[in-house]
A and B are shown apart, each in its own frame.
Chain A
Amino acid sequence: MSGVTIAHASSWGAALVRTSPYTFSAIGIAISIGVSVLGAAWGIYITGSSLIGAAIEAPRITSKNLISVIFCEAVAIYGVIVAIILQTKLESVPSSKMYDAESLRAGYAIFASGIIVGFANLVCGLCVGIIGSSCALSDAQNSTLFVKILVIEIFGSALGLFGVIVGIIMSAQATWPTK
């Protein structure tokens, strides 16, 4: 195969390099949306259960504290957006060029982009969820605390945004070899 030196035809190195770049790309796209949604859902249930219980004694907190749920949801939307962007980067390549260095690079770039976005959104969703739960409970006791804790939550949700930015930059260099 052109340009790629492998030690042994049946070593792990060979297995890695001979796996189709499309496999890596597809897995990357799946992880980007799957793990983001996992993070968003985890965060929503952490916030939601505390919010429901606290709202029984203090019904005024419900509408304001839905912001926490919306921040978690935004994390899932980032995952969807990046998955859509990534899948537009997938191009068909003739089979003679499928294992070129440039093809492999494109495949790995999409894979990495998917992992970056997925896991950054996972921890972001968790972070926002836990803070949202504490925010609901504190707001129920003392309504002046809400805005202050919201600032913490905004910093938390910036984590997902970092992931999205780096993921998009990674995927911008996913150029497949021309025919």
Chain B
Amino acid sequence: MYGFEALTFNIHGGYLEAIVRGHRAGLLTTADYNNLCQCENLDDIKMHLSATKYGSYLQNEPSPLHTTTIVEKCTLKLVDDYKHMLCQATEPMSTFLEYIRYGHMIDNVVLIVTGTLHERDVQELIEKCHPLGMFDSIATLAVAQNMRELYRLVLVDTPLAPYFSECLTSEDLDDMNIEIMRNTLYKAYLEDFYKFCQKLGGATSEIMSDLLAFEADRRAVNITINSIGTELTREDRKKLYSNFGLLYPYGHEELAICEDIDQVRGVMEKYPPYQAIFSKMSYGESQMLDKAFYEEEVRRLCLAFEQQFHYAVFFAYMRLREQEIRNLMWISECVAQNQKSRIHDSVVYMF
């Protein structure tokens, strides 16, 4: 019952919620980012990070460091935190935590299929996959020639199987189809996750609905902008939009017919939450859009921690960590390539 979760949530979720809030306290603050931005080289970054929670993961790395090593080790911490929480969780929290991984599984599947199309070695691709999205038969993906085979050989045994009903065709896989497949899978995943959260009810469903609706809307805008000028038809584009969110259904109708960014802006400015985002950018500028969306996402994720006794804190923590790893990757790349003036272009501060 909404409002009375405090009475029974702590039976199964109290310990893990306290743990995730402890992890949240270890996220990097603006002061940490300022220190990192002052670094001259990657060894300085490693030294600054050794005072944070990443210390134990980076201390055994020999110099010279690479940016990929830093990102890999930080991702390892995220995976360790996640696995620790997953193994302690009971239903329905364990299902909720599993849902957080499916997005990464989809990304990994698309990575391997695209890489195979471009004749890359399977082992090399598997090393590049996100560790949260690994599953057992992932290497077999390289064998498949079209989507039906992909489904039949590998994906039917994974949790992604129910998302494939929309995109099973016998066409051969090429770049365009793979992107469409990725977006169709992600759409099915988001809708499934949304329904699951609605079923959970209470504060979880309220907060997760808001977060997932923002995600769905953001993806709709990105799909629109990325498919302007390509051969994706309007109906196909409309099929890739999720059926929930602030933009559903009228915003989707209007987005489907947009042909350039100013039209997209015109559509989005009718919705007050997104008007604030788009008003930060002047006309004709689209590079800042990604960063503006990330900032809005981080703002909403931080707000999820304001309420106690719900599962959305786990989702928020995982997303905030991923954003932090993106920030660290950007900072490391800028420092390694000596372009420190561009550091502030893409770092999203959290607290």
Q: State the A residues within 8 Å of B (CB).
A: 42, 45-46, 49-54, 56-58, 126, 130, 133-134, 136-137, 140-141
Contacts and interface: CB of A to CB of B under 8 A. Distances in A.
B6 A58 contact: no
B168 interface: no
Given A45-B11, A133-B308, A53 B6 contact: no
A42 B14 CA distance: 13
A137 B10 contact: no
A56 B17 contact: no
Interface residues of B, number: 16
Given A134-B308, A137-B308, A50 B18 contact: yes
Contact of B22 (A46, A54, A126, A130): A54
Interface class of chain A by DSSP: helix
Contact of B10 (A45, A56, A140): A45
A5 B167 CA distance: 80
Interface string B4-15: 001100110011
B23 interface: yes
- Residue among B16, B22, B23 with the most chain A CB within 10 A? B22
A45 B19 CA distance: 16
B14 A49 contact: yes
- Residue among A42, A51, A58, A133 with the most chain B CB within 10 A? A133
Contacts of A137: 17-18, 21, 308
B14 A133 contact: yes
Interface in B133-167: none
A44 B22 CA distance: 21
A53 B15 contact: yes
B10 A57 contact: no
B25 A53 contact: no
